[in-house]
Amino acid sequence: MIWLFLLGLFTYLFITQWVSNLTRTSVWLLWSVAMLPVFVMVVWTIVSRGQTMPTQYSLVLFAGCLVLYLYLIQRGRIERSTMDTAPPAPPEPISEIQPPNLASLRPLNQAEESSLQTCFPWSVFYLKHLEYHPQGVVCRGQLRTTPEAAYRTIRENVEAQFGDRFHVIFQEYYPGEPFFELVVNPAATIEGKNSPVLIRPGFAAALFLLTMFTTTWAGLQVVGRVPTIAALLENGFPYSIPVLLFFAARSFGQFITARKYKIAITLPYFVPIIPLPFFPLGTIGAFTQLKSPIPDRKALFDIGLVGAFMGLIISIPLLAWGLVQSSVVALPNQGGLFNFQALDPRFSILLAIFGKLAIGRELTPDAAIRLNPMAIAGWVGVMFTAFNLMPIGQLDGGRMIHAVFGRRMGARIGRISRFLLLGFAIVYPHLLLWAVLLLLLPALNEPTLNDVLEVDSFRDIVGLLALVILMILVLPAPKFLTTALGM
- How does pLDDT run across 435-468, given as a tens digit for each residue? 888 887 777 788 899 998 888 889 999 988 998 9
For residue 21, the model assigns a pLDDT of 65
DSSP state of 275: -
The secondary element (H helix, E strand) that includes residue 401 is helix 396-405
- Between 1.10.287, 2.60.120, 3.30.1360, 2.60.40, what CATH number should domain 102-193 receive? 3.30.1360
The 3-state DSSP class for residue 91 equals: coil
Q: Where are the beta strands (DSSP E) in 19-133?
A: 125-133
For residue 193, the model assigns a pLDDT of 47
For residue 94, the model assigns a pLDDT of 35
Separation CA 302–CA 455 (nearest Å): 10
For residue 2, the model assigns a pLDDT of 53
With the C-alpha atoms ordered 60, 63, 65, 68, is the resulting torsion angle positive or negative?
A: negative
Other C-beta atoms closer than 10 Å to the C-beta of 229 total: 8
DSSP state of 57: H
Rounded-to-5 percentages of helix, strand, coil across the chain: 60, 10, 30
Indicate the length of the chain as a whole number.
487
For residue 174, the model assigns a pLDDT of 74
For residue 90, the model assigns a pLDDT of 40
For residue 25, the model assigns a pLDDT of 79
Separation CA 151–CA 148 (nearest Å): 5
Q: How far apart are the first and last CA of the chain?
A: 41
For residue 151, the model assigns a pLDDT of 92
pTM, whole model, 2 decimals? 0.75
**Low-confidence spans in the chain with pLDDT less than 70:** 1-7, 9-10, 13-14, 17-18, 21-22, 49-50, 56, 74, 77-107, 134, 187-199, 223-227, 277-278
8 Å CB contact between 24 and 76: yes
Q: What is the pLDDT of residues 279-305, one digit of tens each?
A: 788 888 888 888 888 999 999 999 999
Residue spans per domain, the chain: 2-85, 102-193, 201-485
Separation CA 305–CA 389 (nearest Å): 9
Per-residue H/E/C for 407-445: HHHHHHHHHHHHHHHHHHHHHCHHHHHHHHHHHCCCCCC
For residue 6, the model assigns a pLDDT of 59
Separation CA 407–CA 171 (nearest Å): 9
Q: Where are the beta strands (DSSP E) in 354-417?
A: 367-370
For residue 7, the model assigns a pLDDT of 65
